[in-house]
Amino acid sequence: MSPTTAGGAPRSNVRIALVGLGAIAQTAHLPVLSKMRGVSVVALCDNDRVKARALAQRFGVENTYPDIEDLLENEALDAVVIATPSHAHEPHVLSALRAGLHVMCERPFALTGKGVERILAAAKKAARMVFVANSHRFRLDAQALHAFIHGGELGKVYAVRAGEYRTPSSMAPWRLRRAESGGGAFMHLGLPLLDLAGWIADFPEPLRASATMTRGRGASAVEDSLFVFAELSNGFNVTIDVNWAYPGSEDRWWFEVLGTEGAARMSPLRVTKLIHGKPIDASPSGALQRDTPLTQSYRAAFAHFVAVLRGEATYKAPDDQVLIYHALEGIYQAAESGREFRA
């Protein structure tokens, strides 16, 4: 499945187009991909023509398009990166798959578990690869934590305690409309924590969840905060607490794993092991990270994406996202109803 020319000969660079030029495209996708060896960013697509042309000039991209269908019809591509507003992810991914392209899609993959299933079925039918930009899995501290856990260093892992608080800030208006965003603080901040917890724990099946949330007035309003306690199979449990209207003085982010023989938290990574009943610092040492976690994680995620496209790494379909997105729906159901959700 490596990139080829029309005659079948290997092509040196993977030809990629970016669809959607919002904040994440400008702060992560374009800065990383424009400098990545073996990649040619050949086109940008956004309905804001002025922004698209300005970014194309800044990053040396030749062509711009206002519509994804025009892009797919007129460009010779290997893959597209989808970073449009959330409600457009599923239709845009499906369009790209029908055009015979591989796809990297920003979170959320779709707004529902059924949407995720439709994407995976379409990718299988088209014999093309789809990826979710779960860049948090590629953070250096997350990779180290994963290795610690799966090496048995913490004993049997039984809990994750995670959350993110953000002080109020301006955001794209579509994020505040549930039909377009799929949700508020939990969709934006909680989903990556939910995925990270699932990945750390090998995606145990959800059993039940209790949740509470606060949101603005009106049927279309999204939540400003949500707290969930979920019990999963194998005795594993997760709490996630998110708030994007935090009235404190600074943003907060935490992710802690508890095991029978130790505990670990990000960020930075700190590991404590119980030795003869006493907690001992067993944090790994290493070179200082020059990049921010955002830049580093996207660089690693895109490097893996390109390596798979070039046939240099093994592809694994993101089937685990079906479980994650059905769990997401259960959490929202519990928060909406005020009753425990049972799988």
Q: Which of 330, 319, 25 is nearest to 208 (CA)?
A: 330
Return the pLDDT at 3: 56
pLDDT tens-place string over residues 201-211: 999 999 999 99
Q: Which pLDDT belongs to residue 8? A: 40
CATH number 3.40.50.720 given to 14-133: yes
Residue-level pLDDT, tens digit, the chain, 343 residues: 455 443 343 457 999 999 999 999 999 999 999 999 999 999 999 999 999 999 999 999 999 999 999 999 999 999 999 999 999 999 999 999 999 999 999 999 999 999 999 999 999 999 999 999 999 999 999 999 999 999 999 999 999 999 999 999 888 899 999 999 999 999 999 999 999 999 999 999 999 999 999 987 777 789 999 999 999 998 899 999 999 999 999 999 999 999 999 999 997 788 887 776 777 887 776 544 567 888 999 999 999 999 999 999 999 999 999 999 999 999 999 999 999 999 8
How confident is the model at residue 288, as a pLDDT? 47
Express each pLDDT in 86-102 by its tens digit.
999 999 999 999 999 99
CA distance 342 to 45: 42
- Asked whether the beta carbons of 145 and 267 are under 8 A apart, the reply is no
Strand partners, 272: 263, 281
Strands 79-82 and 102-105, by their bridges, are parallel
Sheet holding 79-82, edge to edge: 63-65, 39-45, 14-19, 79-82, 102-105, 130-132
In this structure, what token pair is assigned to residue 60?
A: 């040396």
Question: And the tokens for 41?
Answer: 């960013």
Rounded distance, CA 164 to CA 243, Å? Answer: 7
Q: What is the CATH number of domain 136-286+321-342?
A: 3.30.360.10
**Would you say 212 and 336 are in contact if contact means Cβ atoms under 8 Å apart?**
no
What per-residue confidence (pLDDT) applies to 289? Answer: 56
Q: Tokens 């006493």 label which residue? A: 278
pLDDT at 286 (0 to 100):
56
Give the count of alpha carbons within 13 A of 298, CB side only.
Answer: 22
Kindly list the domain boundaries of the chain, sorted by start residue: 14-133, 136-286+321-342
Cα angle 238-175-88, degrees, rounded to a multiple of 5: 95
Listed residue (72, 121, 128) closest to 95, CA to CA:
72
Backbone angles phi, psi at 208, to 5 degrees: -160, 160
Contact residues for 235 (Cβ-Cβ < 8 A; gap 6+): 158
Is beta strand 130-132 parallel, antiparallel or unpaired with respect to 102-105?
parallel
- Region of residue 252 (left: phi > 0; alpha: psi -120 to 50; beta: else): beta
